[in-house]
Each structure stands twice: as structure tokens, then as C-alpha cells.
Amino acid sequence: MTWRTWHVAVACILLSFVTARGQVANPARKPLVLNTDALERYVDKFNRDYKQRHVNHIPNDSAKAFLKQNIPLLDCPDKNIHEVYYFRWWTYRKHIKKTPDGFVVTEFLPKVGWSGKHNTISCPAGHHFYEGRWLHDQQYLDDYAVFWFRKGGQPRRYSFWAADALYARHKVRPNRSLITNLLGDLVANYKAWEKSRLGLDGLFWQIDGQDGMEVSIGGSGYRATINSYMYGDATAIAQIAKLAGKGEIEKQYRQKAQKIKKLVQEKLWDDDAKFFKVLPRGKDKTLADVRELHGYVPWYFNLPDKGYEATWKQLMDPKGFYGPFGPTTAERRHPRFRFQNRHDCQWNGPSWPFATTQTLVALGNL
């Protein structure tokens, strides 16, 4: 994997956004440049290569029609990325599930014991909204947004940048009525996070497993993940409050966001290592001695001021995060990289798409 591959990946993501915006503006108009030939060819291949074991709302034999009606088309010079783009959409639709509480999006197709109602899990839900916002039919994610706060969802079972994700979707698919109607729920959700996870110093803490990043080297504590999520949520709540004409809420949450931003840069930044790190809870604790990929998450939400960019040198460093199949979740030079553990999900080195996505979005924001 080379810098060119990373750059093409980001370019393809951005290109898909531009293509989607064009289709949203006039959905009845036929594409000016792209047709559905590639989409159809890939769907036929995926249906042929991958046996269907679990079916939610859209079975394989309906995938082609669904995707032709709902997703932005893409072309790019890297054929691997071209195929992956359509594979992601082919896979995404498999997880759209119709329930008595409306549509939801699952992480797993079979039922898993750590999921909540309708097999939902809040951990990947931010990704679900960011990727699914390009779908033409809005009912799927309209229902999903309401589900988390009013139909039995558990938005704080894992870390989840809920307000940020919903507002990001609103910027692509404006629905002022829905987003402002959920403002009270988003504020209540934020306050509940403050009650359960806000430390006396003003930073949020989280257990690494409830970040969806279990068996990490840095472990639990004040992490760049949860604090960046809360910064993103506070910023989004302020924006939504502005749309709703709630000036006092807007002011309050802008102040919350600025406080988190200041503390993350003051308390979680290791100036020697040039990286955002985990700070364990407790008196006289020092930053963890490891760089972990989630140290890039602040850029996902445009949190850092200028001057912290040196951290990105680690991304393609063979002793840092460089890996042949994507960035590793911990720096390779650390003595506990890939330390032995029998847990199925380990964040002590293996590359995870969840984190790779966060890193690519962060890189695009740099």
C-alpha cells in the first residue's frame, strides 16, 4: 500500500460525495456521464461469489434494483477501489433491516449476544449514518435516527457520535423538521454522557471495550475517541439549536465544545511523541507510552488547531502504523504490539475497518 493508494481512496470518497450531490439535486435526471453498467457487473459478481446465509430487508436478487435506485455512481482509475466501493454498498444494503419500530441498520447479520433491540449496536452507528446519508430513499435513516432515541435503542451502550452523525446527514439530505425535532433527545443524550462519563477535570473517560476497541495497549481512561465524539456532538447540537432558534442551547454547547477542545490539546497531547494518547484515570497518572491509531480521531471532527500535523508522519512509517492491508491499530515498534490474547477482537495491532474509516476521514479533513 502506497501514499498513492491512500490519496486515491480519499479522492474516491470525495468524488462519490460530489456525484451524490448532483443526483440529489435532480433525481429524475439521467446521469450525464456515468451509467449503471459497472454497478450491475459488480452486483452479479458479488451475488455469484458470496453465498446468501442471512436475509434482512433486501435479498441478493433485489440488490441490483435497490442500488440502482439509491446510491451515487462512481468511476475512478484504481479498479480495486472501484470494486470495493460497490462492494461496500452491496454489503451495506444487506444490513438494512425492517422491524416493528421501522428500519434499522445492523452491524452483524446473525443475532449476537452483545447487541440490543433488533440486533442493533450503537458502536458503528456513526459510520452507518455517514455512509448511508447518500441513499436516495430517506425512510431508512429517518427511521433509524428516531429508533435510537424513541424506539428502544441504547445509544450509550457503546461510544457513539450521534448528534454529529445526524447533523452530517442533514447537511447532505436536509430535513430541518426531523433534526430539530430530535434536538431535545440529543441534548438529553449528551447530559446522560456527562452524568456517567465526565471526569472532574472536564474530560470524558471510557472503557476501551465500550469504545469498540477492546484489548488495546493504552487501555481505558481519558481517550481521544470519546472526547472527540463529545466535541463533535456538542458542535452539532449547537448547530441544530441554531436551526431551531434555541440561542441559549447553541451558546451553551459551543462553550462545551471549546472546553473539550482545549482540554484534549492540553491533557491528551504528548509533545515528545507528537501524538494524542490515552490518559489513565486516577491521581498523578501519565499518558500511555503507546501511539494508537485512534489518536487521529480528533481530526475526524476537525478538533485540533494548526500545529499538531507532525503526528501524521506515523501513518506510513513501517515502525508506526503502516501495514500492507491498512493501518495497524497500534504502532508496530511498541513491545506489546500484537501481545498474546485469546479475545476475538483485539486492538493491539490488527487493522480494523472501523478505525481505518475514521483515519481516512480524518486525513481528508487535514
70-83: average pLDDT = 96
Residue 72 has pLDDT above 60, yes or no: yes
Looking at residue 166, its pLDDT comes to 99
Q: The whole model's pTM is what?
A: 0.91
Residue 9 has pLDDT above 90, yes or no: no
Q: Is residue 18 part of a domain?
A: no
Q: Is residue 192 part of a domain?
A: no
- Cell triple for residue 114? 452483545
Residue 1 has pLDDT above 90, yes or no: no
Compute how many other C-beta atoms are within 10 angstroms of the C-beta atom of residue 109: 16
- Amino acid present at 211: D
Place of cell 445492523: 106
Q: Is residue 142 part of a domain?
A: no
Residue-range definition of the domain harbouring residue 298: 198-366
Of 16, 73, 1, nearest in space to 364 by CA:
16
Place of cell 432558534: 245
65-88: average pLDDT = 96
Instruction: State the Cα–Cα distance between residues 6 and 326, nearest whole angstrom.
Output: 9
Looking at residue 29, its pLDDT comes to 56
Residue 12 has pLDDT above 70, yes or no: no
Residue 23 has pLDDT above 80, yes or no: no
Q: Is residue 258 part of a domain?
A: yes
- Amino acid present at 3: W
Q: Is residue 314 part of a domain?
A: yes
Query: What total number of domains does the chain contain?
Result: 1
Looking at residue 340, its pLDDT comes to 84
205-213: average pLDDT = 98
271-296: average pLDDT = 98
Instruction: State the Cα–Cα distance between residues 8 and 318, nearest whole angstrom.
Output: 20
Residue 96 has pLDDT above 70, yes or no: yes
Looking at residue 187, its pLDDT comes to 99
Q: What's phi and psi for 290, nearest 5 deg?
A: -130, 140
Residue 15 has pLDDT above 80, yes or no: no
Arithmetic mean of pLDDT over the chain: 93
Extended strands (E) in the chain: 96-99, 102-105, 269-270, 275-276
Residue 343 has pLDDT above 90, yes or no: no
Please give the share of the chain, as a percent, with pLDDT higher than 90. 89
Q: Is residue 311 part of a domain?
A: yes
232-281 per-position pLDDT tens digit: 999 999 999 999 999 999 999 999 999 999 999 999 999 999 999 999 99
Q: Is residue 254 part of a domain?
A: yes
294-317: average pLDDT = 98
Looking at residue 22, its pLDDT comes to 42
Q: Is residue 6 part of a domain?
A: no
- Of 2 and 185, the structure prediction assigns the larger pLDDT to 185
Residue 4 has pLDDT above 50, yes or no: no
Instruction: State the Cα–Cα distance between residues 31 and 26, nearest whole angstrom.
Output: 10
Band of pLDDT at residue 27, cut at 50, 70 and 90: low
CATH number of domain containing 314: 1.50.10.10
According to DSSP, residue 31 is labeled P
291-305: average pLDDT = 99
End-to-end alpha carbon distance in the chain: 20
Residue 355 has pLDDT above 90, yes or no: yes
> What separation in angstroms does the CA of 361 have from each of 17, 177, 240, 277, 313?
13, 28, 22, 19, 16
Instruction: State the Cα–Cα distance between residues 262 and 165, nearest whole angstrom.
Output: 22
